[in-house]
Structure 1
Amino acid sequence: MKGQFMKAIYRLLPIAGLFLASQIVFGTLPASAGDLFTVKNVHVDVTADSAATARGLAQAQGQRDALTQLMHRLTLPEDWSKLPPVDDQMAQNAVSGFQVASEKASSTRYIANLIVSFQRGAVRGILSRSGVPFAETQARPALLLPVLEKDGTRILWEDDNPWRKAWNKVDLSGAMKPLIVPLGDIDEMNLVPVDKAVSGDAEALTALAERYGASDTVVALAKASPRDGKTVLDVTATHYGGPAPQETIQRSFEGDTLEDAAAQAAQGMLTSLGIQWKRQIIVRDTRVRELNATARFDNLGEWQKIRHGLGSTPLITGMDVMGITGGAAELRLSFKGEPERLALSLAQQGLALSSDGAASAGPDAGMDGASMTPVAEAGDRGPETRVPEEGGFLTPEEQQTTRRTPMDAMPAPGAGTAPGATSQGTIESGRHWVLKVQP
């Protein structure tokens, strides 16, 4: 008897977790862009009457410069003229902390490289008050293969590749389009020799990217040539793989030496890749929309990944679980922007959102005809609520989960609500969507 009771509890716990997690407050969940609001390699060089004065002035300057860099990171170039000038007060109110990565000081001069972190909410407020649209969703990391062509020879994995060294000195993890430079062990050299990298060998590039958990690869081919006593790098960045095709980026950079040109090119191309991504993800129409989706999952781990992915997507402002079975949940998502941008943003969290082409159904319309059990309303204290397909039961205490008005109880268009909008003033998609973990 005791063993049967424990088995019933064991069966109950996972599905009870699904019900108890039906209402999510997204502001409390961890963000996916862990390094996005941290600016590294902020260089300062200040001279003053004393070392202490120079240090204080340099740190204040570093915070101002870092906030300006961060606002540029999150926004598009055509909007930079609308950004407010950064003064000491604005920077101090937005900073959450800073570190000194390296420093040198004399009696009157202070030189340092700083790492400055900012409060996400404070930066959002600055940009919102300025009316500047911004991005908070980083792209999924891509693998970077820096190929240098000089004097008719192409190199990739060699230790004396200054193009590769330049990328290793840049903050790649905090970019809008994060990049990963592979280690370059013997197996990787054999898997993707330089000719396969330049030709875009799909099988080889995919195999190497999978080693690093990347979905796509960027091959950055830099052709070096002398010009008027300087070195010019003509760079072409080509994407391979990924959820959607990307345009090739071509830019030229000039420096006194090959190393100088490579340093400028690495930072410049990283910025260009970020701008390319921001043009796809930034939402200028910030009206809230709602859509109905069926989340499919094979186990509790997949459901938890779906929940985490939704909570880590800045475009999403709220979620309600309207009904649930052992393998599917009916969701109502509130979000900013268009469904297609939401799908692209969710793809960065490893989730696939697609339209099934059907009109939105009510909360009891489960997948494959399965009956969906609505999540318990607040105050609904029936004796027991059966958990579909699990054989367990929820106690009255476990039923104390609130949700919004069910979809089939929302006011119909024309009943005091504009067509296509809900009673909360949001725009509702007429299609039904399917959400699942990407394979």
Structure 2
Amino acid sequence: MTIVFEAKSLLARTAALAAMVLTQSGAALAVPAADKAFTVANYPVEARAQDAVTAKDRAMTDGQQAAFRSLLKRIVPVTAYESLKRLKSIKAADLIDGVSIRSERNSSTEYLASLDFTFQPDGVRTILRREGVPFIDTQAPEALLIPVVREGAGAAGAAGTWTEAWQNLDVVHTLTPLKLEKLKPEIHSDTLRSLTDGTGAAERILIGEYKSGLIVAAVADIDVPGKRLHVTLAGRDAVGPINWKRSYRMASGEQAYALELAAVVGLGVLEGRWKAAQAGARGGVEAITGPGAAVQLLVEFTSIGQWNEIRSHLLETQGIEDVRIEGVSARSADVLLRYPGGAPRLADALAARGMALRDESGTWVLRSRF
């Protein structure tokens, strides 16, 4: 990239260099993206064919298309799933950034593997915006998750299966990253009962024992005679307090399958809560559909260091796109960017970062509060 400098003073020239851009054309800055969510890891693929090579090719082709669908369901709000129909013709192969093999085995006619598919973040975003499909690709802060099988009929041997069901999920690249922890002996059955019932000080006890403010217990109650699996997610995630319950039918011999399904649904619930909260903070699903609204800012600062700090906050704020530095002087900069919901919503987002964005006589002025 060629950068043209036309600063009229040494200080302005220095500020322009610190900003890395000062052009007459207003060249766009690349905004650092939270790209972790664009990897679908530990994804199982399987195919059979007349020979091993064909089986592997088929597994790769079908697998990357299925992983792409999984990615879309990860980042698109549930209320907008209907819009995914517009993406049926998109070929995942055109958006693949890389594939890594976790494990694989094959025969002369069969191929099975567990793969990590990494998709091109900007390519996926461009397609979603073009097709008017809303998405959230910001990951929540990591929470602790404690898989627990309570004592009772059917509990014997199920604890390991329940934990393994969560371990087999992609808890790293999900929108709601999880760190799995074992139940500590200090957490007694009455504490779990209080937690799932939503009473008492159970949440405070968990936070104290695990030294984490974000902690969720995934409690499974297995009713073999009634052929039911009852699951409760209770505690606090990045959205806030949670006490979610669901029951699953459990046919004879299908306990492991029911636990696997419950883990998949449970992770989807946590992701769904986060997507809904993020969409709401940005003005709702309609506000994040398509490109964000253009916002023209006058950024005021007292030093080059403060300008660099403000610029970093802008580049790191999720939802801000197409940032253009159109001019920099000794004490101010003209900035053009896009943000879902426009300047009023951007003001709310930047306030959380210690910045004040105000409409002053028709000009949106951004200053640091510190």
**Does TM, normalized by the shorter one, top 0.5?**
yes
Q: 1:271 offset after TM fit, Å?
A: 0.9
Partner of 1:165: 164
Residue 232 of structure 1, aligned match among 220, 229, 232: 229
Query: Does residue 245 of the first structure (1) align with residue 244 of the second (2)?
Result: no
CA gap of 1:183–1:249, structure 2 versus 1, over 3 A, is closer
Residue 219 of structure 2, aligned match among 221, 238, 244: 221
Query: Does residue 20 of the first structure (1) align with residue 18 of the second (2)?
Result: yes
Structure 2 gaps of 5+ residues are: 1-13, 196-200, 280-284
SS at match of 2:234: strand
Q: 1:266 offset after TM fit, Å?
A: 1.4
* Root mean square deviation, CA, Å: 4.5
Separation in structure 1 between the aligned mates of residue 191 and residue 298 of structure 2, nearest angstrom: 41
Separation in structure 1 between the aligned mates of residue 114 and residue 266 of structure 2, nearest angstrom: 22
CA gap of 1:54–1:334, structure 2 versus 1, over 3 A, is same
Partner of 1:383: none
Q: 1:281 offset after TM fit, Å?
A: 1.6
| Structure 1 letter corresponding to 2:69 | T
Conserved? CA contact 1:26–1:311, under 8 Å: no
Separation in structure 1 between the aligned mates of residue 58 and residue 115 of structure 2, nearest angstrom: 13
Partner of 2:131: 130
Residue 314 of structure 1, aligned match among 318, 326, 333: 318
Separation in structure 2 between the aligned mates of residue 304 and residue 271 of structure 1, nearest angstrom: 38
Q: 1:176 offset after TM fit, Å?
A: 1.1
CA gap of 1:287–1:306, structure 2 versus 1, over 3 A, is closer
Separation in structure 2 between the aligned mates of residue 140 and residue 26 of structure 1, nearest angstrom: 29
Residue 208 of structure 1, aligned match among 203, 207, 210: 210
Partner of 1:179: 178
User: Deviations 1:135-184 (Å, cap 9, x if unpaired)?
Assistant: 121111112222322318999xx995433332222111111111112367
- Which of the pair has more CA radius of gyration? 1
Conserved? CA contact 1:352–1:435, under 8 Å: no
CA gap of 1:20–1:65, structure 2 versus 1, over 3 A, is same
CA gap of 1:295–1:345, structure 2 versus 1, over 3 A, is same
Structure 1 gaps of 5+ residues are: 1-15, 362-411, 414-427
Partner of 2:274: 277
Q: 1:280 offset after TM fit, Å?
A: 1.8
User: What does 1:332-347 correspond to in 2, within 5 Å?
Assistant: 334-338=337-341
Conserved? CA contact 1:343–1:352, under 8 Å: no
Separation in structure 2 between the aligned mates of residue 319 and residue 200 of structure 1, nearest angstrom: 49
Separation in structure 1 between the aligned mates of residue 301 and residue 152 of structure 2, nearest angstrom: 55
Query: Does residue 145 of the first structure (1) align with residue 140 of the second (2)?
Result: no
Q: 1:77 offset after TM fit, Å?
A: 2.6
SS at match of 1:248: strand
CA gap of 1:85–1:107, structure 2 versus 1, over 3 A, is farther
| Structure 2 letter corresponding to 1:316 | I
Conserved? CA contact 1:142–1:217, under 8 Å: yes
Separation in structure 1 between the aligned mates of residue 120 and residue 131 of structure 2, nearest angstrom: 17
Partner of 1:110: 111
Q: 1:105 offset after TM fit, Å?
A: 1.1
State the TM-score, normalizing by the size of structure 1: 0.61
Share of identical aligned residues, percent?
25
Partner of 1:403: none
Query: Does residue 53 of the first structure (1) align with residue 54 of the second (2)?
Result: yes
Q: 1:116 offset after TM fit, Å?
A: 0.7
Partner of 2:260: 263
Q: 1:346 offset after TM fit, Å?
A: 6.9
CA gap of 1:18–1:146, structure 2 versus 1, over 3 A, is farther
SS at match of 1:171: coil
| Structure 2 letter corresponding to 1:337 | P
User: What does 1:34-113 correspond to in 2, within 5 Å?
Assistant: 35-83=36-84, 84-86=86-88, 90-113=91-114
Q: 1:335 offset after TM fit, Å?
A: 4.3
| Structure 2 letter corresponding to 1:46 | A
CA gap of 1:335–1:280, structure 2 versus 1, over 3 A, is farther
- Number of equivalent positions: 335
SS at match of 2:150: strand
User: What does 1:394-413 correspond to in 2, within 5 Å?
Assistant: none
CA gap of 1:305–1:144, structure 2 versus 1, over 3 A, is farther
| Structure 2 letter corresponding to 1:312 | E
CA gap of 1:19–1:154, structure 2 versus 1, over 3 A, is farther
Q: 1:247 offset after TM fit, Å?
A: 4.9
Q: 1:102 offset after TM fit, Å?
A: 1.5
